[in-house]
Structure 1
């Protein structure tokens, strides 16, 4: 007979799954709108990484236009956008040579910044928490919860202290249920819960399927004093 595990629950206005740029920006904007409307809106963000940014190792080139809309004072607030793009090159690589190609408008990054997405997320988390957003890293959303009518009720975090054999250990702690009026799934392009919701509600029925590309990057460790 399967043992029923009782889980504690917490209620929020909005629960956001994923502390990436999308999830944190959503949380920040909700709090800004709540302040403008003079109302209290409780917002919670859960993140599977041990800390915000731990699972976002990518570098990126970012157009700061949207960030300026979200947080107009980002320059004085210490946002980690410090290295602006000074030149663009497009190269066609062969085994022995590199051929320089024209830089088309869509590859023009004048006015953009070269950043660490992990550092940006950590900074966005600071801004969100200063507005009253609750952020819980180290808690992976493991299950979508539903109301009897089929609408989303919230999420449940995964159980902790489960052995490799699937059996509970002396360190076992049941997951927590987070209920919300609105649940935002910001897990990334292949989020497991997002895929479940898309399938359950046939959200892709009238939409063009997502497409993906493969990128290859190198991470260099440069001695201090040889870079800026």
Structure 2
């Protein structure tokens, strides 16, 4: 699965980056809905029986968080209960995308999003929280396993592959990954190395999304 679409920078304000929520009739939102439909058929409702998926990219600024946030909104709007986890503790951004409280002030089991009774976002601060670290050395795995029964779909926004190997931990915990690249930005060498490392770790990459620059 490979889809090309136009999205603005990952660090845009929520009204601009969450096109599935604020501009649902745009071509960009339509492209993302097609990605969501393919994932629903091939991953969440397919023979894999999976409920979790990590969103990965080789480098920063390639649109990984934007794709994760929009997919979470689309799935939630379809009626599914969705958990979106910001596992990028190196450069967290989902609290900005959804205009949540500052990461260092959030604790607990995530925050519900206004207008979405069935969408919960876990900021990166919870992944770094003392309770999560004490529960298991791999808090992402612990969090997914602990909450898997509550949600029909779990999306994990991971750190860029060039920053750390944490994306592999998230991919193993979720059971699969969706690769995000950006036309004219993604370096082929880094992307190839990321995919090879997923293959070596036994993480299935279910498809890819290429964003236009």
Q: What TM-score do you get using the length of structure 2 for normalisation? A: 0.27
Q: TM-score, normalised on structure 1?
A: 0.26
Q: Which has the larger radius of gyration?
A: 1
Larger strand proportion of the pair:
1
Which structure has more helix as a fraction of its residues? 2
